[in-house]
């Protein structure tokens, strides 16, 4: 129901001041949920880990690989997913502007009309007037301002501001994924190149063995079985090469997409020493509690919860009366009698209406209350999701740390077994030529060497990929955008041509990278 009450100007001024001074904020203030974090990593005692600090801003440079550095720099500039995430930041910033606008008079309309009217000669007005045809013109301004007495619009600003921060955290998280994805693809490419090289080298060695077997068979010193066994081993090794080439091409295609270019062989970008990137001797990992401010996905989860917390207040405000100030001012004139349409610009043609209004949904049959409950349930879900995100982050770090450390130990053992396999092959080949041993021993030694070499190359790649996983899990890499805009100039130029973005496209309208979380924010009281 609605009441329109008229007051004098002084009463209205006093009422407005009273409402503004006594306004309150319904709904809960956001409180960061309690989270459980370990005091140290499970592998903290390992000397290869530095838990006193975390220097992971440009972690890929610890591999000392110029090609990798170049690839990540290019991906940051040209990756399309990053560009889309940057545009979503601008979208969230515009949504914040919409929410801020509701603090001011929500409706302002400038109206004008010119109408020709014909009244029915049998209408009720005809009993009092014989004027059935006339013209009327009108100019007017209408405004309505719902006073934010219960904090509905301020809560909406809180929610939009948190949504903006969540979009920025999502952009940072996309950067974490991008840098890690590029590094993983590059390490895998170098690993496959190494495995291909090993396979091709073994093909050449096995061809020589086949040639020796054929010579000895033709000379009558050995049986045909040795020749066929040599051909079998050679064909099997040759068959492994296409599978490796398939994997290499697919990884090159994946890397091309990450760089924002069509799939290509990338010979120019990958030129250089084709070595598997080597990890540093010691890795800085910090402590688990630092994940809460380092990992963008953790901050994103909390900003989402903060936005939802404010939404409870927006919904809850509907339980209370909405107090508005409405007013109209206009000029109206007709051509009836001695009047003229041109009289509309005379001061005597003015018409005005101004006063407060109250609207209260007193009979809603529990709908609003249940809407508040729905919003509260969504908040609780997001709070639990935040806690789960923190736990998942710790698990991901622990998983990659143990894989990184244990794969190094595996590589050390494989290095020893590979060297032993090489010596075994050399001895078997020498003894076969001297007629001391049979050809099966040589073939077995060749197969063992190929297997050990391939396993060693794969494990060296695993070490580097696991270290990339550690840095990904630690939330490093998003700092690459420090001092830079979230949207490249080329896209901003396109958007500016289509739409007036005002100052929102400037870097000053976008916050700098930081580790701010909702629990450390003093919400603006707009």
> What mean pLDDT value characterizes the chain?
87
Q: Is 509 helix (H, G, I), strand (E, B) or coil?
A: helix
pLDDT at position 382 over 60: yes
Give me the pLDDT at residue 451, please. Answer: 94
| Residue ranges with strand state E in 280-414 | 283-284, 322-334, 350-359
pLDDT at position 389 over 90: yes
Q: What crossing angle do the helices spanning 80-101 and 152-218 adopt, rounded to 10°?
A: 170
Task: Identify the CA nearest to 202 among candidates 452, 370, 435.
Answer: 452
Give me the pLDDT at residue 177, please. Answer: 95
Q: Give the mean model confidence (pLDDT) for residues 496-505.
A: 86
- Distance in angstroms (rounded) separating the CA atoms of residues 425 and 427: 5
Give me the pLDDT at residue 194, please. Answer: 94
Q: Is 41 helix (H, G, I), strand (E, B) or coil?
A: coil
Phi, psi of 468 (to 5 degrees): -60, -40
Q: Is 146 helix (H, G, I), strand (E, B) or coil?
A: strand
pLDDT at position 361 over 50: yes
Burial state string for 43-58 with b = 16 or more CB within 10 A and e = fewer than 16: beebeebebeebebee
Q: Give the mean model confidence (pLDDT) for residues 76-103.
A: 92
Q: Is 283 helix (H, G, I), strand (E, B) or coil?
A: strand
Q: Give the mean model confidence (pLDDT) for residues 386-390.
A: 95
For domain 41-103+148-321+360-510, the CATH superfamily is Outer membrane efflux proteins (OEP) (1.20.1600.10)
Give me the pLDDT at residue 1, please. Answer: 38
Give me the pLDDT at residue 311, please. Answer: 94
pLDDT at position 525 over 60: no
Give me the pLDDT at residue 189, please. Answer: 95
- Distance in angstroms (rounded) separating the CA atoms of residues 337 and 114: 18
Q: Give the mean model confidence (pLDDT) for residues 87-96.
A: 92
Task: Identify the CA nearest to 177 among candidates 65, 92, 295.
Answer: 295
Q: What is the pLDDT of residues 463-483, one digit of tens each?
A: 999 999 999 999 988 888 887
The tokens describing 70, both together, are 């170049």
Q: Give Cα 135 distance to the centre of its chain.
A: 60
Q: List the domain boundaries for the chain.
A: 1-30+106-147+322-359, 41-103+148-321+360-510
* pTM, entire model: 0.86
- Distance in angstroms (rounded) separating the CA atoms of residues 272 and 268: 9
Q: Give the mean model confidence (pLDDT) for residues 130-147.
A: 85
- Distance in angstroms (rounded) separating the CA atoms of residues 73 and 70: 5
Q: Which of 127-131, 198-202, 450-454 is predicted with the least confidence, judged by mean pLDDT?
A: 127-131
pLDDT at position 4 over 60: no
- Distance in angstroms (rounded) separating the CA atoms of residues 129 and 366: 51
Record: fold of 1-30+106-147+322-359: Outer membrane efflux proteins (OEP) (2.20.200)
Q: What is the pLDDT of residues 140-157, one digit of tens each?
A: 899 888 888 888 999 999
Structure-model confidence comparison of residues 221 and 79, the more confident one: 79
Q: Give the mean model confidence (pLDDT) for residues 393-422.
A: 95
Q: What crossing angle do the helices spanning 152-218 and 296-316 adopt, rounded to 10°?
A: 150
Give me the pLDDT at residue 324, please. Answer: 86
pLDDT band of 454, cuts 50, 70, 90: very high
């Amino acid at each position: 129901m609605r009441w329109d009450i008229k007051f004098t100007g002084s009463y209205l001024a006093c009422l407005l001041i009273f409402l503004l001074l006594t306004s309150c904020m319904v709904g809960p203030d956001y409180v960061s949920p309690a989270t459980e974090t370990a005091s140290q990593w499970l592998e903290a005692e390992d000397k290869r880990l530095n838990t006193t600090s975390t220097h992971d801003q440009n972690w890929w440079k610890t591999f000392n690989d110029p090609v990798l550095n170049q690839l990540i720099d290019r991906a940051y500039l040209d990756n399309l997913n990053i560009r889309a995430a940057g545009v979503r930041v601008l979208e969230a910033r515009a949504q914040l502007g919409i929410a801020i606008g509701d603090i001011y008079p929500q409706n302002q309309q400038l109206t004008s009309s010119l109408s020709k009217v014909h009244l029915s000669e049998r209408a009720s007005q005809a009993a009092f007037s014989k004027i059935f045809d006339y013209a009327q013109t009108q100019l007017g301004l209408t405004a309505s301002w719902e006073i934010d007495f219960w904090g509905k619009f301020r809560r909406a600003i809180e929610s939009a501001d948190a949504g903006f921060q969540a979009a920025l955290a999502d952009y940072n998280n996309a950067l974490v994924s991008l840098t890690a994805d590029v590094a993983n693809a590059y390490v895998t490419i170098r690993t496959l190149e190494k495995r291909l090289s090993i396979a091709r080298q073994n093909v050449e060695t096995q061809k020589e063995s086949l040639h020796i077997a054929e010579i000895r068979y033709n000379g009558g010193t050995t049986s045909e079985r040795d020749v066929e066994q040599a051909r079998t081993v050679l064909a099997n090794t040759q068959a492994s090469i296409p599978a490796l080439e398939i994997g290499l091409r697919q990884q090159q295609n994946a890397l091309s997409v990450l760089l924002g270019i069509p799939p290509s062989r990338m010979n120019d970008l990958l030129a250089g020493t084709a070595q598997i990137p080597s990890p540093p001797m010691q890795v800085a990992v910090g402590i688990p509690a630092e994940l809460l401010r380092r990992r963008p996905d953790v901050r994103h989860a909390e900003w989402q919860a903060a936005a939802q917390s404010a939404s409870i207040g927006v919904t809850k405000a509907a339980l209370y009366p909405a107090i508005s100030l409405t007013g109209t001012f206009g000029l109206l004139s007709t051509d009836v009698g001695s009047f003229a349409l041109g009289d509309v610009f005379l001061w005597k043609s003015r018409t005005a209406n101004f006063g407060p209004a109250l609207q209260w949904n007193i009979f809603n049959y529990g709908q609003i209350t249940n809407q508040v409950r729905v919003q509260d349930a969504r908040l609780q879900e997001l709070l639990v999701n935040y806690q789960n995100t923190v736990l998942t982050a710790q698990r991901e770090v622990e998983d990659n740390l143990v894989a990184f450390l244990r794969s190094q130990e595996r590589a050390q053992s494989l290095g020893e077994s590979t060297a032993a396999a090489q010596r075994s092959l050399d001895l078997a080949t020498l003894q076969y030529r001297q007629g001391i041993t049979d050809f099966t021993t040589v073939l077995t030694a060749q197969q063992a060497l190929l297997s050990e070499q391939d396993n060693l190359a794969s494990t060296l790649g695993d070490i580097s990929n696991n270290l990339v996983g550690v840095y990904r899990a630690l939330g490093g890499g998003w700092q690459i955008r420090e001092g830079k805009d979230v949207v490249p100039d080329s896209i901003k130029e396109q958007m500016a041509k289509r739409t007036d973005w005002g100052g929102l496209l400037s870097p000053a309208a976008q916050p700098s990278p930081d580790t701010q979380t909702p629990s450390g924010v003093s919400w603006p009281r707009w």
